[in-house]
Amino acid sequence: GAGVSQSPSNKVTEKGKDVELRCDPISGHTALYWYRQSLGQGLEFLIYFQGNSAPDKSGLPSDRFSAERTGGSVSTLTIQRTQQEDSAVYLCASSPYRGWANTEAFFGQGTRLTVV
């Protein structure tokens, strides 16, 4: 597609339920990133994919969070047993080269998750 696409754009869920957030990167981009944006907290790195593997998952806040990427394209971020502190905007970005060297990352519009 023309840009990074994320779905849903908004998600309201009850505490304790599981949620899945989807990211469609720009076609041909091998690197894919998930970030979390909370009010006043900036952007918090969650996980990085190169192809289908995740060399850096150091930012996942707990074992309730997991992510996968299939076919070197679509990625899904899953949050199990959601908590209120998981409420945030989840951003996905992709870039065409390994790592970030000499290129920019293209961000999606994000998924706003609200846990009630």
Partner 1 sequence: AQSVSQHNHHVILSEAASLELGCNYSYGGTVNLFWYVQYPGQHLQLLLKYFSGDPLVKGIKGFEAEFIKSKFSFNLRKPSVQWSDTAEYFCAVKIGTASKLTFGTGTRLQVTL
Scanning 7-15, 31-39, 65-73, 74-82 for contacts with partner 1 by CB under 8 A, the matching segment is 31-39
List of residues 6+ apart from 60 with CB closer than 8 A: 46, 47, 66, 67
Among 40, 53, 84, 116, binds partner 1 (CB under 8 A): 40
Q: State the Cα–Cα distance between residues 79 and 35, nearest whole angstrom.
A: 14
CB of 66 to partner 1, least distance (A): 18
65 near partner 1, rule: CB under 8 A: no
Q: Are 82 and 16 in contact (CB under 8 A)?
A: yes
Q: State the Cα–Cα distance between residues 111 and 23, nearest whole angstrom.
A: 9
55 near partner 1, rule: CB under 8 A: yes
Residues that bind partner 1 (CB under 8 A): 3-4, 31, 33, 35, 40-45, 48, 50, 55-56, 59, 91, 93, 98-102, 104-105, 107-110
